[in-house]
């Protein structure tokens, strides 16, 4: 019975991974970190109080609750669960967020290098968001855009994650008509920053105006 409880608790971060990969691809580490931080206390509690295993691990995990209570005060399990869940969920979530940023940073520059090398090798100039011409746009897209562009970027996030090709192409054609390749690049990268699948957008937009996905 208690082994089943531990199995279910361990399964929660795995479920969190698949959900975040689908809905929040840019924040997988943060999402998993929060869930892991929440379940780590009940797991340590069961191991120690039911199986008499790893009491030092339990003592370490439960230390946050003792920061807010006196040693003489009786502590309920619910009190421990909430306090430790908030503290460890926040800490693990923060670690996951930092990891997400590191991975994203490395991915951006690795993709930039690989795309540039590919197009230079065949004598073409890339129009992807990682081309040299697009570096200033790349920087602009890190900040919130005007209301209209921000709304379009959010539409692209939804359309790209749902793999809605018609919607994505419609937006691409509208951007090409209103601002050409530069506006397309700006909105593509802004969508990436908001959690959209920019590579899928690039491939879907291939052939629209000057765009080569």
DSSP annotation string for 102-118: HHHHHHHHHHHHHHHHH
198 conformational bin, left if phi > 0, alpha if psi -120 to 50, beta if neither: alpha
More confident residue, 53 or 119: 53
Which residue reads 């000057």 in tokens?
210
Which residue reads 């969920």 in tokens?
89
The 10s digit of each residue's pLDDT in 69-88 is 654 456 777 878 888 888 89
Portion of the chain with pLDDT greater than 90, in percent: 22
Q: Over 50: is that where the pLDDT of 100 sits?
A: yes
Burial class (CB in 10 A: 0-12, 13-18, 19+), 194: middle
DSSP letters, 38-66, are HHHHHHHHHHHHTT---HHHHHHHTHHHH
Q: How far is CA 87 from the centre of its chain?
A: 21
- Give the model's pLDDT for residue 128: 46
The 10s digit of each residue's pLDDT in 171-207 is 999 998 988 888 898 899 899 888 888 888 988 998 8
Task: Return d(Cα 104, Cα 127) in angstroms, integer.
Answer: 21
For 26, 150, 166, the CA distances from 193, given in Å and listed in that order, are 8, 11, 22
């Amino acid at each position: 019975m208690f082994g089943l409880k531990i199995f279910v608790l361990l399964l929660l971060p795995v479920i969190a991974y698949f959900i975040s990969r689908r809905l929040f691809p840019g924040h997988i580490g943060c999402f998993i970190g929060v869930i892991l931080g929440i379940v780590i206390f009940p797991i340590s509690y069961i191991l120690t109080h039911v199986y008499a295993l790893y009491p030092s691990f339990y003592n370490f995990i439960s230390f946050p609750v003792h920061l807010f209570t006196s040693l003489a005060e009786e502590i309920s399990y619910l009190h421990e669960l909430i306090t430790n869940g908030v503290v460890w969920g926040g800490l693990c979530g923060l670690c996951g967020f930092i990891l997400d940023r590191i991975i994203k940073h490395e991915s951006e520059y690795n993709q930039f290098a690989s795309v540039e090398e590919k197009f230079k090798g065949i004598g073409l100039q890339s129009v992807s968001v990682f081309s040299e011409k697009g570096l200033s746009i790349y920087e602009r897209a890190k900040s919130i855009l005007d209301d209209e562009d921000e709304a379009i970027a959010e539409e692209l996030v939804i359309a790209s994650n749902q793999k809605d090709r018609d919607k994505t192409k419609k937006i691409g054609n509208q951007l090409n008509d209103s601002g050409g390749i530069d506006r397309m690049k700006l909105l593509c990268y802004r969508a990436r920053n908001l959690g959209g699948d920019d590579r899928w957008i690039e491939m879907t937009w291939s052939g629209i105006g000057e765009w080569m996905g």
